[in-house]
Chain A
Amino acid sequence: MTAIKSQVDMPRQEPNERIKNFDEVAIGYNAEMALEEASRCLNCPKPQCVKGCPVEVPIPEFIKLIKEGNYISAAKKIKEKNSLPAVCGRVCPQEDQCQKNCVLGIRGDPIAIGRLERFASDWERKYSKIEKQEIQFKGGRVAVIGSGPAGLTVAADLAKLGHKVTIFESLHAAGGVLMYGIPEFRLPKEIVQYEVEYVNSLGVEIKLDSTIGRLATIQELFDDGYDAIFIGSGAGLPNFLIIPGENLKGVYSANEFLIRTNLMKAYKFPEYDTPIRVGKRVGVIGAGNVAMDSARCALRLGAEQSNIIYRRGRDEMPARIEEVENAEEEGIHFEFLTNPIRFIGNSRGFLEKVECIHMKLSEPDSSGRRRPEPIPGSEFTIELDTAIIAIGQSPNPIIQQTTQGLETTRHGTIIVNEDSMETKIPGVFAGGDVVSGAATVISAMGAGKLAAKSMHQYILSKKGILQ
């Protein structure tokens, strides 16, 4: 039996260097590394990897093209199914998806599919130009609300099928969470804009500064002649702890902290006009990817100590293992089994410390999840200048509030038929975080892909093209 070669490592900025800048942490494969990694692929007759991909990327085919040195063709092959490969190659949790299924993974390292996807798309971006695609218009008019991963996927897929798509984006830049949420050092904004430009090149029109629900309602979009509408407005409303002192100066929602930092480039203040204030001691409440991003941004913005404060234990953290490792390497400190109970400020209304209580995990309940319980009398305080609440987001309520007949759950998520992503209003589809609650980029894209398929069918039958 021959030994399986191990995965080719991806070069990264050293921790002590990278905490001083917002440049990308992972540097990416060069061609030599990509060839070596691609050469490990067995090209299985019955590839299992593909089954793990929510957007059906033809994985063995694109890896084969890399092996042959056809890097641009490899990127184009991915784009047949996935319009945002440079994004997915960076932020997808491949370890739980395609790479989990890779047969090499049974006895060794799976193929680094994400790194290869990133390599091919980066190569294409560097060495080829986006050309305007001539797609014959033969379908209907589609309005897509929100230009995040779900919206961009729906728009690109429907444009490829010959529909005329307009995206309405509330912010001044397209990309949704890819622009405002994920930090530059994980996903450079220039790359997001390149992918947006590609969707644009398919004939998709993007209207910025357009908050649907306020500027126009869903009904008004139908009145304007749109045949079908996709709602991909995301989970934008930050959750708070609802504890005393949460409105002290120095307490941020992770959303605000990340929007200022990423979308508004506050790390370049005063070159950029948007300010941000980060103290010496920062505490991030929560332990998901957003919490890791916030803690790592805080470090780069000058915090001397950046802590994750989490009510459960290490094993329960919802963040990707890779992100936790990155955070630890950079010196992020973790306070597990610790729950804030109140923020304490000074006489001028500035945050000074947080009172916490130690927690213990109870036996697993019927859902198998171990609930954290406070240990009476274990209160203690942590000195903090800045606190960042990263305990999740709820769907943005504006569209739900202004659309009659749109059914929602008590959490505010939109109810859809899961086979078609159609809402209770005929012709209105929804997907991504606004349906699932806060989840991953790739699951939003998967939902977008499914919605695009059913919207295509819906429009064809509405127009009498499909019998």
Chain B
Amino acid sequence: MYEIVHKEALSPNIKLIEVKAPAVAKKTKPGQFVIIRIHEKGERFPITISNSNKDEGTIQLIFAEVGKSSILLGKLNEGESILNLAGPLGNATDTKDYGNILCVGGGVMVGALLFQMKVLKGSGNNITTIIGARSKDRLILIDEARKYSDDFYVATDDGSEGRQGIEFLKEILQQKRFDHVFTMGPTSMQKIVSEYTKSYNIPTTVNLFPIMVDGTGMCGACRVTVGNTTRFACVHGPDFDGHQVDFDELISRMRFYNPNEKIAMVLYEGV
């Protein structure tokens, strides 16, 4: 059992929790994830780790309440526990000094990106950051992200805060020369970022979260085509070269269980 020692709401449907898991906290590095299961009949699902505190023995998880399992997780309060939590899984991000880097984050993954940025900053990188969300009320961790950035921009799809849309990423790429790009966020956003940076030939690291069951290489549900080769996000990733990833296939695969998820939600909300 893994106790939730702190919980806060970052936006109407985005929650941040700190979970007691000392052994996991000790080993966690940016880019890695945990697989959790909330109750005896629950499913296993991955969440990217957005921070670890070795002294307190806690890890931080940020998630959007979008399906039955994440809603159940969001209902757990401080003092309550998560039944199972395995990690840190996946390979850590290579956080060396690249020089000038651009970090593009969106949605709940801004937390995990911030974790990357802290370590990348420590390695000596000059960081330009773009944080995006659908609208102003969904932007999270803006002040913290600004703190670790040398240049900082905000963008929303509806223009309610900062610049409007992802289009303006092109401007940034034209204005400045980057040695490397990191992106974490919705898969469709990572796809667009990768397409843009490819035309400027800037190496781009994406962080993928396909459907997973075990998270340790056993099920193969998380297979992703990278450079015409099938790779498992859990043991070969979750970081990949964004220019090599077949995003359309990935996005299609991620929707496979949508009908089942709808059934689960209807039955859950009906109760």
A residues sitting closer than 8 Å to B (CB atoms) are 170-172, 180, 208-211, 214-216, 236-238, 240, 242, 246-247, 249, 252-253, 255-256, 259-260, 264-265, 268-275, 277, 348-349, 396-398
Contacts of B232 in A (CB 8 A): 237
Q: How far is the CA of A215 from the CA of B27 in the complex (A)?
A: 6
Q: Are A240 and B27 in contact (CB under 8 A)?
A: no
- Can you report 12 residue pairs joining A to B where beta carbons are below 8 Å apart? A209-B85, A210-B86, A238-B220, A246-B230, A249-B256, A255-B218, A259-B213, A268-B41, A274-B43, A275-B261, A277-B257, A398-B217
Docked complex Cα distance between A249 and B257 (Å): 10
When the two chains form their complex, are residues B213 and A211 in contact, meaning their CB atoms are under 8 A apart? no
CB neighbours of A255 from chain B (8 A): 218-220
Q: A211-B89, A247-B230 are in contact. Are A172 and B257 (CB under 8 A)?
A: no
Residue of B nearest to A209 (CB): B86
| Contact in complex: B68, A273 (CB < 8 Å) | yes
| A-B contacts besides A240-B230, A255-B220, A271-B41, 12 pairs, CB < 8 Å | A170-B86, A171-B86, A214-B216, A216-B23, A216-B27, A237-B217, A238-B219, A259-B213, A270-B260, A272-B42, A277-B259, A398-B235
> Are A264 and B43 in touch, CB under 8 angstroms?
yes
Q: A270 contacts B264, CB within 8 Å?
A: yes
**In the bound complex, do residue B88 and residue A215 qualify as a contact, i.e. CB atoms below 8 Å apart?**
yes
Q: How far is the CB of B1 from chain A (nearest CB, A)?
A: 10
Closest-CB distance, B74 to chain A (whole angstroms): 15
Cβ of B52 to closest chain A Cβ, rounded Å: 13
**Chain B 215-240 against A: per-residue CB contact (8 Å), 1 yes, 0 no?**
01111110101000010100100000
Q: How far is the CA of A275 from the CA of B262 in the complex (A)?
A: 11
* A170 proximity list for chain B (CB < 8 A): 86, 214, 216
Are the C-beta atoms of A259 and B219 separated by less than 8 Å?
yes
How far, in angstroms, from A201 to B41 measured CA to CA in the complex?
26
Q: Is the C-beta of B185 less than 8 angstroms from some C-beta in chain A?
A: no
| Residues B214 and A253 in contact, CB atoms below 8 Å apart | no
Interface flag for B172 (CB, 8 Å) = no
Q: Given A171-B214, A259-B214, does the pair A273, B220 have CB atoms closer than 8 Å?
A: no
* Residues of chain B contacted by A265 (CB below 8 angstroms): 41
Whether B253 sits at the interface, judged by CB under 8 Å, is: yes
Residues in A with CB closer than 8 Å to B221 are 252-253, 256
Is B175 at the interface (CB under 8 A from chain A)? Answer: no
Q: Which residues of B contact A (CB under 8 A)?
A: 23-24, 27, 37, 41-44, 68-69, 83-89, 213-214, 216-221, 223, 225, 230, 232, 235, 249, 252-253, 255-257, 259-261, 263-264, 267
Report whether B218 and A396 are in contact in the complex, using a CB–CB cutoff of 8 Å: yes
Q: Which residues of A contact B44 (CB under 8 A)?
A: 172, 264, 274
Is A275 a contact of B260 with CB atoms below 8 Å? yes
- Minimum distance in angstroms from A180 CB to a CB of chain B: 7
B265 closest partner in A (C-beta): A270
Q: Is the CB of A172 within 8 A of B89?
A: no
Closest chain A residue to B220 by CB distance?
A253
When the two chains form their complex, are residues A215 and B84 in contact, meaning their CB atoms are under 8 A apart? no
Residues in chain A near residue B267, CB distance under 8 A? 270
A341 to chain B, nearest CB (A): 17
Bound Cα distance from A208 to B36, whole angstroms: 12
Q: Given the complex, which residues of B lie within 8 Å of A210, measured CB to CB?
A: 23, 86
Query: Known contacts being A211-B89, A247-B225, A274-B43, is A396 close to B216, with CB within 8 Å?
Result: yes
Specify the chain B residue showing the minimal Cβ separation from A246.
Answer: B230
Which of A180, A211, A268, A273 is packed against the most chain B CB atoms within 10 Å? Answer: A273
CB-contact partner of A208 in B68, B84, B253, under 8 A:
B84
Which of B23, B260, B264 has a CB less than 8 Å from the CB of A277?
Answer: B260
A172 to B249, CA, bound (A): 30
Q: How many angstroms from the CA of A398 to the CA of B69 in the assembled complex?
A: 28
> What CA separation (Å) do A435 and B227 show in the bound complex?
31
Contact among A172, A247, A349 with B83 in the assembled complex (CB-CB below 8 Å): A172
Residue of A nearest to B212 (CB): A256
Residues of A within 8 A of B89 (CB): 211, 214
Beyond A216-B27, A269-B260, whether A349 also contacts B249 by CB under 8 A is yes
B218 touches A211 (CB 8 A): no
Q: Are A237 and B252 in contact (CB under 8 A)?
A: no
Residues of B close to A396: CB separation below 8 A: 216-218
A237 to B23 alpha-carbon distance, docked (Å)? 25
CB pair B213 A273 closer than 8 Å: no
Chain A contacts for B213, CB-based, 8 A: 256, 259-260, 264, 274
- The reply to whether A273 and B42 contact each other, CB–CB distance below 8 Å, is yes
| Shortest distance from the beta carbon of A71 to any chain B beta carbon, whole Å | 32
Contacts of B216 in A (CB 8 A): 170, 211, 214, 236, 396, 398
Contact A211 B264 (CB under 8 A): no
CA distance A264 to B45 in the complex (A): 12
Q: Are B220 and A240 in contact (CB under 8 A)?
A: yes
By CB atoms of chain A within 10 A, which of B24, B213, B263 has the most? B213
Collect the chain B residues with CB atoms within 8 Å of residue A172's CB. Answer: 37, 44, 83-84, 86
**In whole angstroms, what is the CA distance A268 to B43 when docked?**
12
**Would B261 and A211 count as touching, CB distance under 8 A?**
no
Contacts of A240 in B (CB 8 A): 220, 223, 230
- Docked pose: A372 CA to B213 CA in angstroms: 34
**In the complex, how many angstroms separate the beta carbon of B2 from the nearest chain A beta carbon?**
8
**Residues of chain B with a CB closer than 8 A to A216's CB:** 23, 27
Q: CA A273 – CA B38 in complex, angstroms? A: 10
